Amino acid sequence: MDSQRVWSFVFVSALILLAYTTPSVTAGDIVHDDENAPKKPGCENDFVLVKVQTWVDGIEASEFVGVGARFGRTIVSKEKNANRTRLTLADPRDCCSAPKNKLAGDVIMVDRGKCRFTRKANIAEAAGASAVLIINNQKELYKMVCEKDETDLNIHIPAVMLPQDAGLSLERMLLNSSSVSVQLYSPLRPVVDIAEVFLWLMAVGTILCASYWSAWSAREAAIEYDKLLKDAADDIPSDKAFGGGGVVDISTTSAILFVFIASCFLVILYKLMSLLLIDLLVVLFCIGGTEGLQTCLVALLSRWFKHTAESYIKLPILGAVSYLTLAVSPFCIAFSVLWAFYRSFSFAWIGQDILGIALIITVLQIVRVPNLKVGTVLLGCAFLYDIFWVFVSKKVFHESVMIVVARGDRSGEDGIPMLLKIPRMFDPWGGYSIIGFGDILLPGLVVAFSLRYDWLANKTLRAGYFLWAMLAYGLGLLVTYVALNLMDGHGQPALLYIVPFTLGTFLTLGKKRGDLGILWNSGDPERPCPHIRLQQSLDLDEDK
């Protein structure tokens, strides 16, 4: 179908805007790079996020998130061990000189600036404060470290940095009420959140479904091709050739160009990230998601409504459209529109994942790698692309471009919609576990190719390549999440782990079994032509 080819290119263009596996976004973004900050006795705390729960006139109020300083006493991790303490506004506000009144165990709130963080903490402690909240002059959080020449680091009270908007809210509370009290604690993250398990199952399940659909279509095309060869070996219509039917094969050149085009799109997103651009991406995602959901539903329902699926009506511009497609389309459009309208709600991730999975499955059905050479070039380029824009880009742009774009730090929203996400269920800091479409789609192209090859070569599951490619992908993604947790939530490029596992397994097995030449060059198993088998059968009959 020509329309299918058009949509496949639309999908691929949209998916160039890849969002890769990044850490779940907690409240507040820590911007200070402290890798070179000195650590010394009295200034060697680990940086931890801190919850600041408030009570106004005895009634529980807002909760804010800050970050603990490198210096000072460590903050308790359990809420039951944290004391509720009265909050006092510093006078002078910067706390660079002694407060006018004794604090008697109060938590003091001070403004950032005019003197060092450690000086503020020392003055607050000398005045009797039990903790100091330092309000940043920007909306981001900032890691408070010690300077190289600092010596007065014997600080016995905790120091916490809060973002500017939290400080404004606390100040309004203090000015408009008779009493404000706070409680500081830093709950620990679970080693593994069940959201990551479900996300792993979603990614593996999506590739599994897409691979079987792709292989089934390829086998049906091969059967039809065999029939055509039997009926008319010398007169085969070009549009019925094996591998046709609306399928787009990726070439080596397009695989190489991918990394450059994707990089250009990523830089554009990074430089022009805004609420308007996010809205544009949402529209594109809704268009692609609608078509993907429609394609999947039509393919599924056509098994029960075969006559409706095979009956067509000719429409202007769209051409021939089946009655089943017409029946399903309004539902798909309504679903996408409702998701776009409610995308800021807590439950919107469900709709986003449904649209995303349908879109990925449809793309993996339409777009294919013809052989292992193209698959290796594609994944190799994506491997380098992932590493550069997650890690190396920090040297050029002073921040990870991939993570900034994926989280939508400059847009005022939750980031681009081209990713699957699940809310972290047992994480006290909330947020989402997310994976970009590219981390499923690109390896999925190679995994789907392995199953198509196995079926056309009549290989068993164990003797084929699909089972091992799926296991390799699942293991690579699992290692990604292990690395994510071991590195304290710092963004990890999933393809850094997935590509070596998937390609390494495929290439090693192909070499060991002697199939690497066929896999690398043609990608199709050697199959005797049906008309030759027919002629051989006739010859045998004549001999008898």
pLDDT, tens digit, 9 for 90 and up, residues 112-138:
988 999 999 999 999 999 999 999 988
Q: Averaged over 402-417, what is the pLDDT?
A: 65
Q: What is the phi/psi pair of residue 334, to 5°?
A: -60, -40
Q: Is 57 left (phi over 0), alpha (psi -120 to 50) or beta?
A: left
pLDDT at 305: 84
Please state, rounded to an integer, the average pLDDT across all residues of the chain.
81
Same domain, 200 and 171: no
Between 95 and 491, whose confidence is greater?
A: 95
221 in a domain, yes or no?
A: yes
Distance CA 52, CA 471 (A): 44
Distance CA 350, CA 354 (A): 6
Which residues pair with residue 65 across a beta bridge? 51
**DSSP annotation string for 64-99:** EEEEE-SSSPPPPSSGGGPPEEEEEE-SSTT-SS--
SS3 assignment, position 423 = strand
**Which of 77-91, 95-109, 210-224, 356-370 is predicted least confidently?**
210-224
pLDDT band per the 50, 70, 90 thresholds, residue 349: very high
Between 484 and 3, whose confidence is greater?
A: 484
Residue 162 corresponds to which tokens in the numbers above? Answer: 């809060």
Between 192 and 355, whose confidence is greater?
A: 355
20 in a domain, yes or no?
A: no
What are the pLDDT digits (tens) for 12-69? Answer: 444 444 433 333 333 333 444 455 566 778 888 888 889 999 999 989 999 999 999 9
SS3 assignment, position 133 = strand
Same domain, 122 and 270: no
Whether 529 has a pLDDT exceeding 80, the answer reads no
pLDDT at 304: 87
78 in a domain, yes or no?
A: yes
Question: Of 196, 141, 175, 164, nearest to 421 (Cα)?
Answer: 196
What are the pLDDT digits (tens) for 289-337? Answer: 998 999 999 988 988 888 888 888 887 776 778 888 889 999 999 999 9
Q: Which amino acid is at 443?
A: P
Same domain, 335 and 400: yes
Same domain, 427 and 484: yes
Compute the radius of gyration of the chain from its Cα atoms.
30
pLDDT at 25: 31
pTM of the model: 0.80
Q: How far is CA 49 from the centre of its chain?
A: 23
What are the pLDDT digits (tens) for 374-407? Answer: 999 999 988 988 888 888 888 888 777 877 776 6
Same domain, 200 and 156: no
Q: Containing domain of residue 164, as a range?
A: 31-185
Q: What is the phi/psi pair of residue 53, to 5°?
A: -85, 140
6 in a domain, yes or no?
A: no
Pairing of strands 84-89, 59-68: unpaired
Beta carbons within 10 angstroms of residue 504's beta carbon: 12
Whether 85 has a pLDDT exceeding 50, the answer reads yes
Same domain, 248 and 349: yes
Distance CA 374, CA 368 (A): 10
Cβ contacts of 184 within 8 Å, gap of 6 or more: 50, 51, 52, 75, 76, 82, 107, 131, 158, 160
pLDDT at 5: 47
Please state, for a pLDDT cut of 70, what percent of the chain lies above it. Answer: 83
147 in a domain, yes or no?
A: yes
Same domain, 499 and 370: yes
Whether 11 has a pLDDT exceeding 50, the answer reads no
84 in a domain, yes or no?
A: yes
Residue 164 corresponds to which tokens in the numbers above? Answer: 């500017």
Active site amino acids: 386, 439
Same domain, 229 and 297: yes
Same domain, 180 and 226: no
Between 211 and 366, whose confidence is greater?
A: 211
pLDDT at 510: 93
Distance CA 177, CA 9 (A): 60
Degrees, nearest 5: CA angle 116-118-119: 65
SS3 content of the chain, % helix, strand, coil (to 5): 50, 15, 35
Same domain, 354 and 208: yes
21 in a domain, yes or no?
A: no
**Residue labelled with tokens 């506004």:** 89
Q: Averaged over 425-454, what is the pLDDT?
A: 88
Between 224 and 415, whose confidence is greater?
A: 224
Same domain, 76 and 43: yes
Cβ contacts of 265 within 8 Å, gap of 6 or more: 16, 17
Whether 159 has a pLDDT exceeding 70, the answer reads yes
**Which of 78-82, 89-93, 353-357, 533-537 is predicted least confidently?**
533-537
Whether 352 has a pLDDT exceeding 90, the answer reads yes
Q: Number of folded domains in the chain? A: 2
SS3 assignment, position 46 = coil
Whether 465 has a pLDDT exceeding 80, the answer reads yes
Helix (H) or strand (E) holding 428: none
pLDDT at 413: 52
Residue 97 corresponds to which tokens in the numbers above? Answer: 């000189």
CATH number for the domain harbouring residue 109: 3.50.30.30
535 in a domain, yes or no?
A: no
